[in-house]
Structure 1
């Protein structure tokens, strides 16, 4: 199993954009991409009516805030179970190791 196959963060978060804030549950992971030299993070928001109404099946930039950080990400396509995908690059909204072990 590769290191980036496990969840890096699973739990509560707040998604905000357009003067609206929604409490969500997320599963996030990420990895450093040596090709472009940036950290890429991604995951899914748990299915809920408020997210579906907000997203309306369109891509949207949002701020995702967890208890340990925040980052700008792009909310995109829902999966067949109604969980919307979120992606971002750079510092993620969860802690990452900064030292090699």
Structure 2
């Protein structure tokens, strides 16, 4: 599943592109994505802060900032329920 939209990461409104999968080895959902360029998140990551909260609507989950990509976006990963709402059927 893939998702894109507006999210709040570490208290900053951002545009998030993410996707995930269930991992049969550990039995948990793993998700990852990219936050479009946002200087505040780049500063947080470069200062050593990696653990953040991601909020989309009422859904909140913990995530980890991993790296700044060549275009200035920030890679983000999480394990467990993703922050985006479930797909409507």
Equivalence for 2:9: 15
Structure 1 residue 68: deviation in Å? 5.2
SS class of match (1:65): strand
- TM-score (normalised: structure 1): 0.77
Instruction: Provide the aligned length of Structure 1 versus Structure 2.
Output: 88
For residue 72 of structure 2, the aligned residue among 82, 88, 94 is 82
- TM-score (normalised: structure 2): 0.86
Query: Which aligned segments of 4 or more residues in structure 1 are displaced greater than 6 angstroms?
Result: none
Residues 15 and 85 (structure 1 numbering): CA distance in 2 closer, same or farther, change over 3 Å? same
Counterparts of 1:55 and 1:70, CA distance in 2:
20
Deviations 1:13-59 (A, max 9, x none): 1112xxxx211110011000011100001101101212212222645
Alpha-carbon RMSD: 1.9
For residue 31 of structure 2, the aligned residue among 38, 41, 57 is 41
Any stretches of 5+ residues in structure 2 without a counterpart? none
